[in-house]
Amino acid sequence: MPSVEALGLFCVAAVALLLIPGPAVTYIVTRAIDQGRTAGLLSVAGVHVGTSVHIIAAALGLSGLLLSSALAFEAVKLLGAAYLILIGVRALLSRSEDPAIPIRPRRHLRKVFADGVIVNALNPKTALFFLAFLPQFVDPARGAVPFQVLLLGGVFTSLGLVTDSAYALSASAAASRLRRSPGFARARTRVAGVVYVALGASAAVTARSEG
């Protein structure tokens, strides 16, 4: 396994990266604001199950195969972008809620979790990140490389669960105060839909520019 020094440096680097909001954090925060604390936390869990898919793929060397094929990379990226846009369109087309009714998850909780898994699993840039980041802290002289990659990936995922849950809880708490405003209650789902569509469109454009 990695040395104590390498593991400590990895944790510092991982926390620094996790605290910088990216598309996954934007997705989680939007879900928490739109559907509440439970949905936000389930989105965190789903996103990190998707992350685990990429970590296992990196340990097995499958990420390299995906990233070596421009066509495969583009196809997976566009599938992920399309799924985000689909989530956004569904939100935009959903019926407005009565502002007097407390927020409650509109999707089945398993669906909220599954959305998080799919959104992150269909993001080859996550695979690229782990393929580039994790090996920097691996020492082949200290044991099997796949095991070290899995160990570091597990640490990264554990740290991510903490930081992303903090984002979800903060967003949900802030939204709970804003829900007293009828305007916010009417607009939150529309705004969430726009954010999801924007995330998907951004991913699609990035995929084309990299191809």
**pTM, entire model:** 0.73
Contact at 8 Å (CB) between 53 and 121? yes
Tell me what pLDDT residue 181 has: 64
CA 66/CA 125 separation, integer angstroms = 11
**DSSP reduced 3-state for 101:** coil
Tell me the one-letter amino acid at 78. L
Phi-psi region of 36 (alpha: psi -120 to 50; beta: other; left: phi over 0): left
- Average pLDDT (148-162) is 92
Percent of the chain with pLDDT over 70: 71
Count the domains in the chain: 1
Q: Which residue has the tokens 């804003």?
A: 178
Instruction: Report H helices in 61-181.
Output: 62-68, 70-93, 109-121, 124-133, 145-178
Tell me what pLDDT residue 157 has: 94
Tell me what pLDDT residue 67 has: 55
CA 14/CA 164 separation, integer angstroms = 13
134 DSSP 8-state letter: G
- Those residues whose C-beta lies under 8 Å from the C-beta of residue 52, and which sit 6 or more positions away, are 153, 157
Q: Which domain holds residue 117?
A: 4-15+22-210
pLDDT-derived band of residue 46, with 50, 70 and 90 as boundaries? very high
Write the pLDDT tens digit of every residue in 67-125. Answer: 566 666 677 667 767 777 887 787 677 655 544 444 444 557 788 899 899 988 888 77
pLDDT-derived band of residue 187, with 50, 70 and 90 as boundaries? low
